């Protein structure tokens, strides 16, 4: 018979969870208003609410270290650990410094959201979405470089706040016993910080050969299009030529890379536009997918309170996100939806967050999160992997699935999104880990940023980017204080989840053609894992859905096996590496 929980610990946690839930709801409400209606006043209110949440969390985390935990239950011990790790930023105990930290983060986000640039020869300032369209659609190197450099200029204004933010965030993390903020972030994965870094390296080693094969093929085709004077046949690829502002995904240049005969047989963007689709139509498709798995429809408040389009009368943060405002049933998404295949998939992803949030809403407050943050990102993408031609037929968007002869094109397009992302998913936080640890001083921020991106991604900036620039600030997650390693892990886990669920329904054919749409069996397995929230360590949750307790890249490698064989054939006489 086990000892009863220590009363002091149980009472402390009961009080702490009630207090933090109340402050969390207040913060979510204030932040929703700020990100959907950016003004100096809403920025200030959001910062103050976030400051109260951070201050209370830090106070409670420090109090928890003085509790007698010898007889505490395993559940309460886990809650105490999670309490210390519940925020991605810890304010110093000095009140003025705590308020300054949250104000600086809010200011960085506002500066990012308000970024605009007017292209050479134009009179119209473009926001990030407009400049990103230039990178996707133009093939003029000068115009591409202008759009790329124009957006990256936003980092200069963010840099002073970022330098002070690093100093203050580290001070708060150290007060809780962490070496720095980066070490605190790595401690969230139920292992020691150094062990987690080694786990990331292990996974990257498994997938790097596939990435290098893709990189070699893309570089060769770009050399053919732009010439060796603009693209070094043996060197890194210029970042502005890859169709994405951060070169984190390359599907925007698929028309330049598509092999002969790789027409997938349909254009989902064209189909959606010709149907007269509106943004909420895309959300309805995604909702119906989850309902087909046996999950409940979204609440009416979701449709009443979400932001689906960019308002014409005010500044907003368009970066797609899913919200659980009251930690119960007030689910929302915030997006500036466009009628494209990319946003069709993104909506499926965001609803994955919402359905995860709903599934663990019955858990105690400190367990209302995913097993680790990579799980949250992976769930929606797992659903997106089931957006196959066969799925599109079943929901009435296609008359018939195209033949498998076009699968290399489909796989290449998917790899330009998923495989191309993998090293970027590591690079963002590798850079921040070094910044937080002090290994990289402010004078070397930009130089180190590009050194890391060259090492992992094999890309380089257009032209010289001196240390007066702050190119990391041009990526939303850096000024927003959002850890990024979750996205790398999600790109591994989504394929691991997809393969496990496809096997659950005995899907026939190659993994990239499998869809779990309409499978109550797969839905039950998924729902069981979602409902666990953060109540167990992540290997327990992983085992629930996959049957294994370690993150593995086998699912990703199996999914792209036909493409890897094709790439190796294409690259027989092409140089690899950079």
Q: Which sequence positions are flagged as catalytic?
A: 350, 477
Q: Are 316 and 306 in contact (CB under 8 A)?
A: no
Bridging pattern class, strands 117-118 and 125-126: antiparallel
**Max Cα-Cα span within the chain:** 78
Please tell me the total number of residues recorded for the chain in this structure. Answer: 578
> Where on the phi/psi map is residue 306: left (φ > 0), alpha (ψ -120 to 50), or beta?
beta
The DSSP result for 460-493, as a single string, is E-SS---TT--GGGGSTTTTTT---HHHHHHHHH
Q: How many separate helices (H) and strands (E) can be counted in the chain?
A: 24, 6
Q: What would the two tokens of residue 526 be?
A: 């998924």
- The position carrying tokens 């990012």 is 112
Tell me how far apart the alpha carbons of residues 213 and 218 are, in angstroms, rounded to a whole number: 9
Beta strands, E only, 299-370: 321-324, 331-334
Query: Cβ atoms within 10 A of the Cβ of 577, count?
Result: 9
Bridging pattern class, strands 237-238 and 321-324: unpaired
Coil, helix or strand for 568?
helix
Q: What would the two tokens of residue 163 be?
A: 């330098």
Q: What would the two tokens of residue 271 be?
A: 């189909």
């Amino acid at each position: 018979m086990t000892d009863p929980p220590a009363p002091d610990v149980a009472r402390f946690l009961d009080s702490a969870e009630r207090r933090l839930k109340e402050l969390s709801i207040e913060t979510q409400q204030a932040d929703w208003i700020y990100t959907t209606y950016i003004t100096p006043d809403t920025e200030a209110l959001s910062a103050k609410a976030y400051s109260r949440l951070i201050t209370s969390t830090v106070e409670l985390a420090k109090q928890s270290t003085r509790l007698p935990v010898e007889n505490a239950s395993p559940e309460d011990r886990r809650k105490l650990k999670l309490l210390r790790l519940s925020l991605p930023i810890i304010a110093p105990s000095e009140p003025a410094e705590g308020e300054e930290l949250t104000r600086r983060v809010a200011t960085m986000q506002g500066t990012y959201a308000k970024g605009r640039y007017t292209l050479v020869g134009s009179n119209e300032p473009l926001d990030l979405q407009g400049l990103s369209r230039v990178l996707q659609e133009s093939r003029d190197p000068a115009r591409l470089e202008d759009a790329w450099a124009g957006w990256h200029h936003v980092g200069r204004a963010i840099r002073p706040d970022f330098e002070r933010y690093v100093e203050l965030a580290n001070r708060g993390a150290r007060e809780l016993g962490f070496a720095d903020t980066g070490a605190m972030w790595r401690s969230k994965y139920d292992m020691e910080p150094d062990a987690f870094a080694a786990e990331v390296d292990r996974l990257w080693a498994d997938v790097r050969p596939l990435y290098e094969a893709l990189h070699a093929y893309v570089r060769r085709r770009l050399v053919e299009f732009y010439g060796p004077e603009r693209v070094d046949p043996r060197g890194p690829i210029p970042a502005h030529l890859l169709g994405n502002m951060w070169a984190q995904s390359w599907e925007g240049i698929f028309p330049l890379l598509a092999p002969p005969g790789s027409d997938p047989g349909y254009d989902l963007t064209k189909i959606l536009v010709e149907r007269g689709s509106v943004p909420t139509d895309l959300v309805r498709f995604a909702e119906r997918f989850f309902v087909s798995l046996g999950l409940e429809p979204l609440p009416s408040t979701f449709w009443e309170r979400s932001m689906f389009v960019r308002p014409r009368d005010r500044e907003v943060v368009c970066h797609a996100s899913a919200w659980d405002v009251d930690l119960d049933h007030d689910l929302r998404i915030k997006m500036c939806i466009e009628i494209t295949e990319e946003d069709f998939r993104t909506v499926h992803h965001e609803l994955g967050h919402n359905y995860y949030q709903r599934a663990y809403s019955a858990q105690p407050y400190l367990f209302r999160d995913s097993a680790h943050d990579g799980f949250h990102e992976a769930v929606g993408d797992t659903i997106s992997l089931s957006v196959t031609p066969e799925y599109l037929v079943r929901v009435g968007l296609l008359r018939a699935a195209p033949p498998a002869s076009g699968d290399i094109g489909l796989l290449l397009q998917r790899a330009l999104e998923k495989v191309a992302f993998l090293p970027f998913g590591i690079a963002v936080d590798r850079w921040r880990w070094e910044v937080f640890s002090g290994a990289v001083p402010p004078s070397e921020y930009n130089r180190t940023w590009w050194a890391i991106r060259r090492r992992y991604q094999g890309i380089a900036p257009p032209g010289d980017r001196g240390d007066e620039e702050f190119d990391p600030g041009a990526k939303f997650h850096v000024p927003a204080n959002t850890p990024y390693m979750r996205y790398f892990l999600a790109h591994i886990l989504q394929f691991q989840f997809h393969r496990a669920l496809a096997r659950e329904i005995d899907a026939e054919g190659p993994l990239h053609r499998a869809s779990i749409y309409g499978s109550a069996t797969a839905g039950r397995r998924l729902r069981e894992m979602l409902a666990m929230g953060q109540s167990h360590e992540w290997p327990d949750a992983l085992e629930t859905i996959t049957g294994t307790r370690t993150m593995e890249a086998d699912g990703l490698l199996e999914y792209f096996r036909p493409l890897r064989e094709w790439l190796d054939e294409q690259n027989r006489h092409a140089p690899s590496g950079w």
